Structure 1
Amino acid sequence: MTRHTDLLAGQANAPAPAPTERADAARNRAKVLAAAAELFAARDPRTVTMDDIAKTAGVGRGTLYRRYPDTNSIAVALLDEHERALQERLIGGAPPLGPGAPPAARLAAFYAAMIELLDGHADLVLGAETGGARFATGAYGFWYAHVRALLREGGIREPDALVDPLLAPLAAEVYRQQRGRGLTSAQISDALGHLARSVFERGHG
């Protein structure tokens, strides 16, 4: 997850060839990711430890730590495929999510797509955000750059002060709290769409 800013700018560089992975290392990686996904889905991801993952995967602690420094990095690895698919749609997909629609419509579509991502993978997102790590992930940097670009395109004054507040409703903890209160995904998406439109209606000056 090191190329998100380049992707957003439409200037992605070809990644360097990945080193060949030994067969035993590949098997261990698959076991670790499968075990982590199972544990994150079964209970609050913030309570999952590296020892839990090593034990469930049937690998040694040294094997686990050689590849992943902490549980956040494992959750990020599990999320990467889903987040990259959304990033590609933001860069080159059909409007309103992709280019070609007004900024308000694109922000509303981004909110809807992110709620869809949380619907399927909130446990992984929460695992990746444990301990305030949300702001350090490459994905957050990508979302930040995307929303900031929309605000600038829409002529919003002081866009940098608005980006984090506009991304705050997409935190996994907020999403889970809202669902726990009985709100549906559609209700959350509709409310965020209204927020997106309001920002551009009132944010000029």
Structure 2
Amino acid sequence: MPEHRSRKDASRNRQAVLAAADALFARRASPADVTMADVASAAGVGKGTLFRAFGDRAGLLRALYEARLEPIRQAVEAGPPPLGPTTPPQDRVPALLDALLCFKLDNRRLALALEESGSSSPYQAEHYQRWHSTLHAVLEQIPGLTDSGFTAHALLAATRADLVEHLAGEERLAREGMRAQLATFITRVLACGPRPGWTAEA
């Protein structure tokens, strides 16, 4: 019984921390303004509890990001069109990237904080590798399209959190305008096959 209570308390504390972090990121102007001490205080837990549950600030950001992303991930893995696996690849690629762009627009501060956290390459992050792997696999199903791995990187670059923040914050580009421009870019990329006689050395 004590062990069951301990697990229940840990689960409750984790949810309280995620809810507190969620609210703090929504209120603060900059992600850097939110500290682990702020989150612990808002959640009503000790800092030790916070660090035991998430390891560090980057771990907390990843957990919150993954919790928000879960509905999209489920739709991508087993859901209906346009995100689900039964969608034709030419239609699924823009749907996947549009969903990712909308997610980052809806979670601008959190996505920016996560992508800016840590000193390692953002391309090594688990969430990035998952998106790249999914997109790469779908691109490989498109006849005539080469270099699917590089193309996946190039397309994902158009949804980077710092670019989304710049376009939405500095250039004041409206949400639908950004989505339309991304869709046009994807269409052009997918339409570009290798030209006759062209090689990488040319």
Residue 36 of structure 2 is aligned to residue 50 of structure 1: yes
- Give the partner amino acid of 1:27: R
Deviations 1:94-152 (A, max 9, x none): 33322344433211111221122123222222232232564344322221011111221
**Structure 2 match to 1:97:** 83
Which residue of structure 1 lines up, in the alignment, with residue 7 of structure 2? Answer: 22
CA distance in 2, matches of 1:62, 1:82: 24
Q: Deviations over 1:47-85 (max 9, x none)?
A: 322222223323222111111122222122222233222
Which structure 1 segments of 5+ residues have no match? 1-18
* Pair 1:183-2:173 in alignment: yes
User: What are the ranges of 5 or more consecutive residues in structure 2 without an aligned counterpart?
Assistant: 196-202
Q: Is the 8 A contact 2:83 2:95 kept in 1?
A: yes
Aligned AA for 2:173? L
Paired residue secondary structure (1:31): helix
Given the two structures, how large is their TM-score scaled by the length of structure 2? Answer: 0.80
Contact 1:92–1:98 (CA under 8 A) maintained in structure 2: yes
Match of 1:143 in 2: 131
Superposition map of 1:1-205 within 5 A:
22-43=7-28, 44-131=30-117, 134-154=122-142, 155-180=144-169, 181-204=171-194
Distance 1:40 1:136, change over 3 A: farther
Give 2:7's aligned amino acid: R
Assess if the C-alpha contact under 8 Å between 2:112 and 2:165 holds in 1. no
What CA distance in whole angstroms lies between the structure 1 residues aligned with 2:180 and 2:22?
A: 30
**Paired residues of 2:104 and 2:111 also in contact (CA < 8 A):** yes
Q: What is the aligned-residue identity percentage? A: 33
Q: Distance in 1 between matches of 2:51 and 2:157?
A: 31
Whether the 8 Å contact between 1:46 and 1:127 is mirrored in structure 2 is yes
Q: Decide which moves more: 154-163 or 58-67.
A: 154-163
Cα RMSD between the aligned structures? 2.3
Specify which structure has the bigger relative contact order, considering alpha-carbon pairs within 8 angstroms and separated by 6 or more residues. Answer: 1
C-alpha displacement of 1:37: 1.1
Q: Secondary structure at the match of 1:96?
A: coil
Distance, in Å, in 2 between the alignment partners of 1:160 and 1:126 is: 24
What amino acid does structure 2 have at the position aligned with 1:149? Answer: A
